[in-house]
Amino acid sequence: LESFPVTPNGKVDRAALPAPDTPGSRGATYVAPRTPAEERMAGIWAEVLGVERVGGEDNFFELGGHSLLATQLVSRVREAFRTELPLRVVFEAPTLAELARRVEALRAKSLGDAGAPPLVPVPRDGSPLPLSFAQQRLWFIEQLEPGSTAYHMPSALRLRGPLDPRVLERALGEVVRRHEALRTTFDETEGVPFQVVRPAGAARLESIDLSGLGAAEREAEARRLAREEAQHPFDLRAGPLFRTRLLRLGDDDHVLVLAMHHVVSDGWSMGVLFGELSALYEAFARGEPSPLPELPVQYADFAVWQRAWLSGEVLEEKIAWWRQRLEGAPPVLKIPTDRRREATPDTRAGRVFRALPPETADGVRALARREGATLYMVLLAALDLLLARWSGQDDVVVGTPIANRTRRETEGLIGFFVNTLALRADVSGNPSFEVLLRRVREGTLGAYQHQEVPFERLVDELRVERSLSHTPLFQVMFALNDVSGGMRPWGGLAVEPYPSGGGAAKFDLDVMVMEQEGGLGVAFTYREALWDASTMERVAGAYALLLEAAAADPGRPVLALPLVSDAERESLLAESSGPLLDHPAGLCVHDLFAAQAARTPHAPALVHAGEVLDYAGLERAANRLANHLRCLGVGPETRVGICLERGPELVVAMLAILKAGGAYVPLDPAYPRERLAWMQADAGVALVLTSSHLAGALPEGTPLLALDAARATIDAGPDVVPESGAVPENLSHVIFTSGSTGRPKGVMIRHSSTVVLLHWLRETVTDEERSSVLFSTSVNFDVSVAEVFGTLCWGGKLVVVENALELASVREPVTYASMVPTAAAELLRSGGIPASVRTLVLGGEPLPAELARALHALGTLDRIGNAYGPTEDTTYSTFALVSGDCDRVPVGRPVANTRALVLDGGLQPVPDWIVGDLYLAGDGLARGYAG
């Protein structure tokens, strides 16, 4: 939008425009204008659109019109009809006859001129000339970051043919004379900045001769010098803020390097500059005077006019619209990055380009025509959708540059006119793309109608919180530019753009779509400190897919539009499954333990407070209690509570309940009695195993078995394996969630799910690691299932402690420990991780990368694992080994017999750079919630 081509006299450069449709292109019969208003309007259309004949039924947008040309149309209507035509009316009444009637109606109702003062020259009597609002912001930024290259505007032209450097130097001098902005510097008095317009003088074009170098070396040196010029800092006080350099590569081969500071120029200005250089060089080369008319006003006149008009009620009315439009908008678009965002953003820029095929471009244009929108609006709607799905946010704000040359007098000026609009899009409710486009169209038209409010003032008025880490209101910029016409020749010189390099990233992401021959090209400029080029390549591919799908079927819900190709989708599905482990069917958890006890009866199974219980002893103790429970009626699906302190008796009780066929339900004796009461009721607990001194903590009426009181009876019973009657589909345990998302829920886990977990642990944990495992997790949390049965079912030794922080004081050397990251951080701080610990598995909370790196730095740990999974999927769903140089810690890959997929709101798989929800499936899923 901001760099639309114009001719030296400030009019639209028709040669750089794509050929417009012919009048009557919709197949309608040509209808000549009927009224004086239509005839006057037809003349305006012909000038703006560059067509010879306009009919009363012709459509502005079908003749090649778009938002920027509509803005020029409005400025000419203002002059011709003395009426302020709202921009949205051009969209609502796009035919010539309709628009003429609307303009006449506005005149009749006296709803015309909004009272903007005329834009006229102000006296140059030595009074300080104010900065425009946009200039004031850049001045302020320069004071914070002196010498920053973020707002440099480098460009270069390759000139092929017989160039006369003296003529070029004279043409450059004339451009500088004509445009005060190119002779302007800045100063301040008592903290108030003002413009200083330097007198015009003879221009001097520095020339560097590279023709003596070899071809490859010559090109490399030219690019280096162009990049050097682009990155050389400007001094806003001393100037100059417009620099030129001519590189001679050969007799008929030159590169003109140009550098300007944004404070005196913008993209549109570059078109003015190149257009004037072309006209002046051709005229001077022929010995003729300048063909360009004198400019009616200068940029400083605009700055005075802007500050006089945009104040008081006018400014407040326009800001009120923005305040309402942006109320509650998210300050930051939380799109995932490949690397952590630093407090001060790095401005190094990367760039990825994607060409869209002609059929996609044609489809997008056709969709815009059908919906009464512009190409820009369709492209913006697709970007809004991409950002919404990328971030997981359905409220998206994108910035866009707008030429802001709503007065005809400004069209031929060089200066910093461009304004920035914050365009908010509502992507909620999974609408069709057509509906989203209508929302975007409405918001865009409203923003155009209030475009004069300087972005800098808007940020101030909205009291947006400032941060050095991101730009205010939005972090993604979008623009549509037309580059289809190329550069026009300068007399006998062929002119083409020359890559100067040196560009800086002003935003996290800057998306520019370029209209070019045969289709559309999309450039993604991004902060290299945040993303890899490979990620941005995939982002660009997703944008192309969205546009193609939206153009083909705009009635589809937006979440059904693809972000990945069919091949990538199949790959995502294939990668979603963990390893498939085959294990003997028909076994329950206690069967695995019994088999291990038979294999290693005399191996140590439990260590607690210096006492050791071997596998045979643990098997006999569990069998005796299990037989007693069978006598009490415990069998398959019977829920038996456990309210015991940590020690061997707790492990015996867990095994015994399973051997009796029941399912254990942990009940923490520290919980309030009311919570224990509803947990028992919710889980349908038939009996609670406890001790006499804890019985008083349980609700009245609870059926209890105090193990200490019944010890003699239990020990007198048989120690043979009871007939449990349990099968893999019966419950093994019910563990309550923490209740962080509401009321705690009892998760019902089957033997079959636990057995799958245990077989994965057998393959993942080595015998050496299993030789001494810390049992520190409360049985009220699901990690205890992995600690207890993952150790005892495969011949390991369980070291029982009260909590993980006791690790440093345990006499028994521990080789393997599981805990939450906060516990590990505390142990690390206090030096409480013994050298005997070789493997540390962390879970239950996100694992910070800094902690992982610090743990590796100990030098004693061989493996650090990050385990993730909800209780509803039997403890662990994914697992990753964490490296010592990690920047971020992943949750890992699916564990055995598990599928893990990240899906969007439409339940479609998304690539790894997109935010979505994690869906889990497989053999580990719980039966459901109790009750």
What's the mean pLDDT in 267-275? 92
Helix (H) or strand (E) holding 637: none
Predicted confidence band at 126 (pLDDT cuts at 50, 70, 90)?
confident
Residue 194: DSSP 8-state:
E
**Is residue 10's pLDDT more than 60?**
no
Predicted confidence band at 343 (pLDDT cuts at 50, 70, 90)?
confident
Question: Helix (H, G, I), strand (E, B), or coil: what is residue 340?
Answer: coil
Rounded to whole angstroms, how far apart are CA atoms 864 and 848?
12
Query: pTM value?
Result: 0.80
pLDDT of 606: 97
**Is residue 67's pLDDT more than 50?**
yes
Helix (H) or strand (E) holding 357: none
Read off the tokens for 295. Answer: 């400019």
Rounded to whole angstroms, how far apart are CA atoms 31 and 53?
11
Determine whether 592 is exposed, middle or buried from the number of CB atoms within 10 Å of its CB (0-12, 13-18, 19+). buried
Contact yes or no for 704/687 (Cβ under 8 A):
yes
First to last CA, the chain: 61
Rounded to whole angstroms, how far apart are CA atoms 364 and 357?
11
Helix (H) or strand (E) holding 136: helix 133-144
Rounded to whole angstroms, how far apart are CA atoms 898 and 921?
6
**Is residue 22's pLDDT more than 60?**
no
Predicted confidence band at 17 (pLDDT cuts at 50, 70, 90)?
very low
Cβ atoms within 10 A of the Cβ of 549, count? 20
Please report the DSSP string for 888-927 in residue order. S----EE-TTEEEEEE-TTS-B--TTS--EEEEEETT--S
Of 395 and 349, which is predicted with more confidence? 395
Phi, psi of 559 (to 5 degrees): -75, -10
Contact yes or no for 521/354 (Cβ under 8 A):
yes
Radius of gyration, CA atoms only, the chain? 37
Give the strands of the sheet with 773-775, arranged side by side: 611-614, 604-608, 798-800, 773-775, 816-819, 839-843, 863-868, 878-881, 893-894
Phi, psi of 795 (to 5 degrees): 85, 15
Tens digits of per-residue pLDDT, 280-303? Answer: 999 999 999 999 999 999 999 999
Please report the DSSP string for 753-783 in residue order. HHHHHHHHHHHHS-HHHHTSEEE-S-TTSTH
Rounded to whole angstroms, how far apart are CA atoms 62 and 27?
11
What's the mean pLDDT in 145-150? 84
pLDDT of 446: 92
pLDDT-above-70 percentage for the chain: 95
Phi, psi of 509 (to 5 degrees): -145, 135
**Is residue 24's pLDDT more than 80?**
no
Read off the tokens for 156. Answer: 């270069």
Phi, psi of 281 (to 5 degrees): -60, -45
pLDDT of 485: 52
pLDDT of 113: 46
Contact yes or no for 364/551 (Cβ under 8 A):
yes
Of 417 and 15, which is predicted with more confidence? 417
Pick from 736-740, 876-880, 906-910: least confident:
736-740
**Is residue 790's pLDDT more than 70?**
yes
Tens digits of per-residue pLDDT, 414-457? Answer: 999 999 999 999 999 999 999 999 999 999 999 998 988 989 88
Predicted confidence band at 53 (pLDDT cuts at 50, 70, 90)?
confident
Read off the tokens for 27. Answer: 């197949």
pLDDT of 502: 56
Predicted confidence band at 345 (pLDDT cuts at 50, 70, 90)?
confident
pLDDT of 27: 41
Helix (H) or strand (E) holding 599: helix 589-599
Cβ atoms within 10 A of the Cβ of 459, count? 18
Q: Name the range with the highest mean pLDDT among 7-16, 56-65, 495-504, 605-614.
A: 605-614
Cis ω for the linkage preceding 240 (within 30 of 0): yes
Pick from 106-110, 323-327, 926-930: least confident:
106-110
Pick from 110-124, 506-520, 812-826: least confident:
110-124
Rounded to whole angstroms, how far apart are CA atoms 664 and 653?
9
Residue 870: DSSP 8-state:
-
pLDDT of 54: 84
Q: Among candidates 512, 305, 322, 489, which has minimal Cα distance to 415?
A: 305
Tens digits of per-residue pLDDT, 186-215? Answer: 999 988 999 999 999 877 899 999 999 999
Cβ atoms within 10 A of the Cβ of 871, count? 20
Predicted confidence band at 30 (pLDDT cuts at 50, 70, 90)?
low
Of 486 and 744, which is predicted with more confidence? 744
Annotate 455-521 with three-state secondary structure. Answer: HHHHHHHCCCCCCCCCCCCCCEEEEEEECCCCCCCECCEEEEECCCCCCECCCCEEEEEEEECCEEE
Q: What residues form DSSP beta bridges with 613? A: 606
**Is residue 20's pLDDT more than 80?**
no
pLDDT of 594: 98
Cβ atoms within 10 A of the Cβ of 343, count? 7
Contact yes or no for 839/790 (Cβ under 8 A):
no
Phi, psi of 733 (to 5 degrees): -165, 160
pLDDT-above-90 percentage for the chain: 69
Tens digits of per-residue pLDDT, 675-686? Answer: 999 999 999 999
What's the mean pLDDT in 566-576? 92
Exposure b/e, 461-488, CB count within 10 A at least 16 = b: bbebeeeeebbbbbbbbbbbbbbebebb
* Mean confidence (pLDDT) of the chain: 90
Read off the tokens for 543. Answer: 């944008």
Torsion, Cα 378 381 385 386, to 10 degrees, reads 60
Pick from 147-156, 181-190, 522-531: least confident:
147-156
